[in-house]
């Protein structure tokens, strides 16, 4: 299935104007980079205009275009009205969908008590119990940041749980340079990573146009290790950008091309070349009525579409597949609002398609189970979101057009007024063609009443209770488990001065 035409916001001329506005911002306004004097002096030697007193960095055109060229894999750094010097990428609908539950949430929604509470080690195990029953869902991490240990070691504990209970564990987010090496040691102790492998984390600036604090520290730390990842802008219209939506896109592009230029210039060869990838699209807005930030709304979909079109059509970067589709309800608990927000946001993302030269596109559906603007995670919401994810999986499969599917011979055999219900053709194709919900009720009123009038949330709760009653066994042998626990204890002694005694 291909999106013929697809959803586009901008004409070629409009995209070029956005590109020129971004270049003007970087050349005239620049960015503020709170890096060491040594790093700023290195940037000056590389051709950037650096004011050590204000930490302001401005960019010549050719250096930014080289960054664009590296990210796009174009043959030349020149950017014209048609974008980068690469053939246009078709806008395709994804053929396959995979999903992830949560990200690294510090809170969970307790549906029995109807409260949002700090996440614990038990919650990490509970989410792993549920996730393993959800087909095509990533089970490499619990997606939980435990709050029953100090935050300086929370990531180390999260890494230990993933290493102990996940077949292919992935490392969690980290707080900073203090816990990052310990997370790496946990993964090595479990035998999941080769010794010396680095956990490379994305970097977020302090919008607008400023890199400071953790972001600056992580950039210099990773650059010194020869690790080049990506700086992702998260800009809020009316707060960290002008209220007009297109200006948010300008600042996002300026931050990502500007700070990634700085990043690559701080890394020594041969690791100083950015890998081709799509632009970041972490987007939120502010509800100007009461100052709350929000992740659901038509503005969010438009902003994601704007970055998506600039990235895939104008710069011809790799298609957005990592977090291409998101369930991001702002609702605080499961219910009608969460379902509406999740479904609308996910479908609007899906209909944007993926720019790709490859016909066989796989896309990730992210943040299943998220509530409260991605602040909390809920087991029952994850089950409900997975039902919508299965719906989308069937949708992207499209329709076959072949002899078996056209079924002209079957139509001729049954003829006018006949029934196709009992044919071999129906039996052969019914499960391939039809989608069967697991939570939704289909049937007459009387049947629904007789079943107890249960809604989707009640059915999801029943599934959660069934899954939580099961045991969760470690995937490591006893020796590896002791090694992982030893690294966690050593990390606590190094970072806290004492052991917490908390384990899972």
- Kindly state whether residue 364 falls inside one of the protein's structural domains: no
Give per-residue pLDDT as tens, 41-83.
999 999 999 999 999 999 999 999 999 999 998 888 888 888 8
Which pair of structure tokens corresponds to residue 351? Answer: 């209909």
- The three-point CA angle 468-471-475 to 5° equals 125
Give per-residue pLDDT as tens, 226-268.
999 899 998 999 999 999 999 999 999 999 999 999 999 999 9
- Kindly state whether residue 434 falls inside one of the protein's structural domains: yes
pTM: 0.93
pLDDT at 444: 95
Q: How confident is the model at residue 361 (pLDDT cuts 50, 70, 90)?
A: confident
Provide the Cα torsion 131, 149, 145, 375; round to 10°.
120
Q: DSSP for 485-497? A: HHHHHHHHHHHTS
Residue 313's closest CA among 2, 1, 9? 9
Q: What is the average pLDDT value for the chain, to the nearest integer?
A: 93
Provide the Cα torsion 256, 262, 266, 272; round to 10°.
50
Q: How confident is the model at residue 4 (pLDDT cuts 50, 70, 90)?
A: low
In Å, how far from its chain's centre is CA 250? 21
Whether 40 and 50 have beta carbons less than 8 Å apart is answered as: yes
pLDDT at 307: 93
- Kindly state whether residue 41 falls inside one of the protein's structural domains: no
In this structure, of 44-58, 142-156, 353-367, 442-456, the range with the lowest mean pLDDT score is 353-367
Torsion sign, CA atoms 141, 145, 149, 152: positive
In this structure, of 129-133, 284-288, 324-328, 442-446, the range with the lowest mean pLDDT score is 324-328
Task: Spell out where 26-149 has E strands.
Answer: 31-33, 49-51, 56-58, 79-80, 83-84, 91-92, 96-101, 107-110, 115-118
Q: How confident is the model at residue 126 (pLDDT cuts 50, 70, 90)?
A: very high
Task: Spell out where 249-400 has E strands.
Answer: 285-287, 292-294, 325-326, 354-355, 362-368, 370-371, 376-377
Which pair of structure tokens corresponds to residue 282? Answer: 């972490």
Distance, in Å, from the CA atom of 489 to the CA atom of 27, rounded to the nearest integer, reads 49
In percent, the amount of the chain with pLDDT more than 90 equals 80
- Kindly state whether residue 503 falls inside one of the protein's structural domains: no
Report the domain count for the chain: 1
Distance, in Å, from the CA atom of 44 to the CA atom of 48, rounded to the nearest integer, reads 5
- Kindly state whether residue 414 falls inside one of the protein's structural domains: yes
Domain range for 434 is 405-457
- Kindly state whether residue 439 falls inside one of the protein's structural domains: yes
CB hemisphere CA count around 471 (13 angstroms): 3
pLDDT at 187: 97
Q: How confident is the model at residue 475 (pLDDT cuts 50, 70, 90)?
A: very high
Distance, in Å, from the CA atom of 388 to the CA atom of 287, rounded to the nearest integer, reads 27
pLDDT at 225: 96
| DSSP label at residue 268 | P
Give per-residue pLDDT as tens, 206-219.
999 999 999 999 99
Whether 328 and 365 have beta carbons less than 8 Å apart is answered as: no
For tokens 């995670």, what's the residue? 377
Pairing of strands 376-377, 354-355: unpaired
- Kindly state whether residue 109 falls inside one of the protein's structural domains: no
Whether 476 and 163 have beta carbons less than 8 Å apart is answered as: yes
Is the model's pLDDT at 281 over the cut of 80? no
pLDDT at 84: 87
- Kindly state whether residue 429 falls inside one of the protein's structural domains: yes
The arithmetic mean of pLDDT across residues 111-136, rounded, is 96
The arithmetic mean of pLDDT across residues 150-169, rounded, is 96
């Amino acid at each position: 299935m291909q999106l013929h035409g697809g959803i586009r916001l901008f004409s070629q001329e409009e995209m070029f104007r956005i590109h020129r506005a971004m270049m003007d911002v970087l050349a005239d306004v620049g960015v503020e980079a709170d890096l060491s004097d040594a790093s700023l002096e290195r940037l000056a030697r590389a051709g950037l205009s650096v004011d050590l007193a204000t930490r302001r960095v401005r960019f010549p055109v050719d250096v930014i275009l080289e960054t664009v060229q590296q990210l796009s894999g174009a043959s030349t750094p020149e950017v014209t009205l048609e974008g980068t010097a690469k053939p246009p990428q078709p806008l395709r609908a994804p053929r396959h969908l995979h999903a992830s539950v949560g990200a690294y949430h510090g809170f969970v929604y307790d549906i029995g008590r109807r409260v949002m509470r700090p996440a614990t080690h038990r919650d990490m195990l509970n989410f792993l119990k549920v996730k393993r029953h959800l087909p095509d869902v990533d089970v490499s991490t619990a997606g939980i940041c435990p709050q029953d240990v100090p935050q300086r070691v929370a990531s180390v504990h999260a890494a230990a749980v993933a290493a102990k209970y996940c077949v292919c564990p992935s490392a969690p987010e980290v707080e900073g340079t203090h816990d990052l090496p310990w997370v790496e040691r946990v993964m090595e102790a479990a035998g999941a990573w080769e010794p010396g492998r680095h956990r490379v984390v994305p970097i977020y600036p302090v919008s607008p146009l400023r890199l400071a604090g953790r972001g600056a520290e992580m950039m210099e730390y990773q650059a010194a290790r020869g690790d080049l990842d990506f700086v992702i802008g998260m800009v809020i219209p009316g707060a960290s950008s002008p209220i007009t939506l297109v200006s948010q896109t300008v600042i996002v592009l300026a931050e990502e091309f500007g700070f990634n230029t700085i990043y690559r210039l701080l890394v020594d060869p041969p690791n100083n070349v950015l890998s081709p990838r799509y632009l970041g699209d972490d987007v939120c807005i502010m509800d100007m009525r009461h100052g709350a930030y929000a992740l659901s709304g038509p503005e969010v979909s438009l902003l994601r579409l704007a970055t998506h079109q600039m990235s895939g059509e104008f710069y011809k970067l790799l298609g957005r597949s990592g977090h291409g589709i998101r369930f991001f309800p702002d609702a605080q608990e499961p219910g009608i609002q969460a379902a509406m927000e999740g479904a609308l946001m996910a479908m609007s993302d899906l209909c944007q398609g993926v720019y790709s030269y490859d016909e066989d596109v796989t896309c990730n559906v992210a943040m299943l189970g998220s509530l409260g603007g991605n602040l909390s995670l809920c087991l029952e919401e994850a089950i409900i979101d997975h039902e919508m994810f299965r719906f989308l999986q069937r949708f992207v499969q499209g329709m076959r057009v072949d002899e078996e599917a056209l079924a002209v011979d079957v139509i001729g055999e049954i003829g006018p007024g006949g029934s196709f219900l009992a044919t071999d053709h129906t039996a052969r194709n019914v499960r391939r063609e039809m989608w069967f919900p697991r939570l939704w009720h289909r049937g007459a009123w009387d049947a629904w009443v007789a079943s107890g009038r249960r809604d989707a949330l009640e059915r999801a709760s029943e599934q959660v209770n069934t899954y939580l009653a099961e045991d969760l066994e470690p995937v490591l042998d006893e020796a590896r488990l002791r090694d992982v626990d030893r690294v966690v204890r050593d990390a606590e002694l190094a970072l806290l001065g004492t052991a917490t005694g908390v384990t899972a």
